Amino acid sequence: MDTLRKDLSLSAVIAGFIAVIISYAGPLIIVFQAAKEAHLPNDVVSSWIWAISIGSGITGLFLSWRLRIPVITAWSTPGAALLVSMLPTVTLPQAIGAYAVASAIIAVVGLSGAFDKLMSRLPKAIAAAMLAGILFRFGAELFTSINLQPVLVLSMIAAYLIFKRFSPRYAILSVLIIGCAVAAWFGELNSSSITIAVAHPVFIAPEWSWHAIINIGLPLALVTLTGQYVPGMAVLRTSGYNTPARSIISITAIGSILMAPFGSHGFNLAAITAAICTGREAHEDRDKRYIAGIACGVFYILMGTFGATLASVFSALPKELIASLAGLALFGAISAGMTGAMADEKQREAALITFLVTASGMSFLGLAAAFWGLIFGLVAHFVLTYTRESKAAALAEGSRQ
Q: pLDDT tens string for the chain (401 positions)?
A: 677 777 777 778 877 876 777 677 667 777 888 888 888 888 888 889 899 999 999 999 999 999 999 898 988 877 887 888 788 888 999 999 999 999 999 999 888 877 777 666 777 788 778 778 877 877 888 888 888 888 888 999 998 899 888 877 667 778 878 888 888 888 877 666 666 777 788 999 999 988 889 888 988 888 888 767 877 776 777 677 878 888 899 999 999 999 999 999 888 988 666 766 777 767 777 888 889 899 999 989 988 887 667 666 666 777 778 778 767 766 776 787 788 888 888 888 888 998 998 888 776 665 567 678 888 988 998 888 875 555 555 555 555 55
Q: Secondary structure of the chain in the HEC alphabet?
A: CHHHHHHCCHHHHHHHHHHHHHHHHCHHHHHHHHHHHCCCCHHHHHHHHHHHHHHHHHHHHHHHHHHCCCCCEEECHHHHHHHHHHHHHCCHHHHHHHHHHHHHHHHHHHHHCCHHHHHHHCCHHHHHHHHHHHHHHHHHHHHHHHHCCHHHHHHHHHHHHHHHHHCHHHHHHHHHHHHHHHHHHCCCCCHHHCCCCCCCCCCCCCCCCHHHHHHHHHHHHHHHHHHHHHHHHHHHHHCCCCCCHHHHHHHHHHHHHHHHHHCCCCEEECCHHHHHHHCCCCCCCHHHCHHHHHHHHHHHHHHHHCHHHHHHHHHCCCHHHHHHHHHHHCHHHHHHHHHHHHCCHHHHHHHHHHHHHHHHCCEECCEEHHHHHHHHHHHHHHHHHHHHHHHHHHHHHHHHC
pTM of the model: 0.68
